[in-house]
Structure 1
Amino acid sequence: MLEFLDSYAWIFWLGLILLFVVIEMLTLEFTFLMIAIGSLGGLIAGVFGAPWYLQIVVAGILSLLLLLTLRPPLLRLLKRGGDPTKSNVDALLGLEGLVVDQVTSTAGQVKLANGDIWTARVSPLTENRELRRGERVLVTAIDGATAIVVPAERTSDRKEGTL
């Protein structure tokens, strides 16, 4: 049995390398890539005549070293080019809009600059007043499906009533 392992360990290593590369292609997190490279180290140790148990030790140590040293910087490089575009609730914060239906501290509707119509409430941090139809607002928070708004400051370069 041990002679068989010594003679055909290279087939075992090739199978493991193939398996780990396929799993890596499905997960894309560099863990199985590092293990595949460690297995390649075990295969190379076998080519140079190391016994099967030493091949396993070489593969294990190499995999562990790669996981601890090479994988973290590779993940940082991969995540560095992330999409900076805001999405979901983050994309709504700071968005301007127009009051469609009078907004009070309990109810109302606004049409946001992205074209969506949202139920809205006046922010509790704002003076206690109602916002009339056509007033410009700014979204400060989202509470469930309700936009929390404050009156927007007027700017001289925009026409009244447009976004």
Structure 2
Amino acid sequence: MAGPKLQERFLQWYVIKNKDRLPLINGKKVVQVIDNQDRFPDLTLILDDSSAVPAEVEWASSDFVAHGHPIDKIADESGVVLVLTQDRDLGLGVRQITLDIDDFEKWIAKNVTSLVRLTTEDIRHPQPRTFPKLWFTYISRKGGGDKDFEEQAPRGQVVQLRTGTRG
């Protein structure tokens, strides 16, 4: 079987936008979905009792194993794996929820324009990266520079990278 032509991110967006279609998790309704921005687990489901449950989204169960995700985190925290097809048993303690493939296809077709815009947004409007300002200053032991450093260090964020002399 050939792999999916869409990125898994589309499936994650589907879950985020359709939380009301998810079944009860541990007997509770999903009231919020938090996107973990490409970190494991993909999503955090907030239930109606305010508890948080990890959720990993995959095209198929076998992808969860192939990606090397830690099953223990999902099992230990009563989490779930949301899939379009259950093609593998993930073991005791790991609940798989099969998403409705027909509903997913309809949602993609209905939202294709906004999904394409979300996908190309970073290309159209790149966000400049912000880097911290770092200052490197040589402090000589001659002339009292090290004493001045000692006096000024408590007033700002100063990190001494190397001490000692060349020799």
Q: TM above 0.5, one fold?
A: no
| TM-score of the two chains, using structure 2 as the length reference | 0.21
Pick the structure with greater CA Rg. 1
Structure with more helix by fraction: 1
**Greater length-normalized contact order (CA 8 Å, ≥ 6 residues apart):** 1
Compute the TM-score of the two structures, normalised by the length of structure 1: 0.22
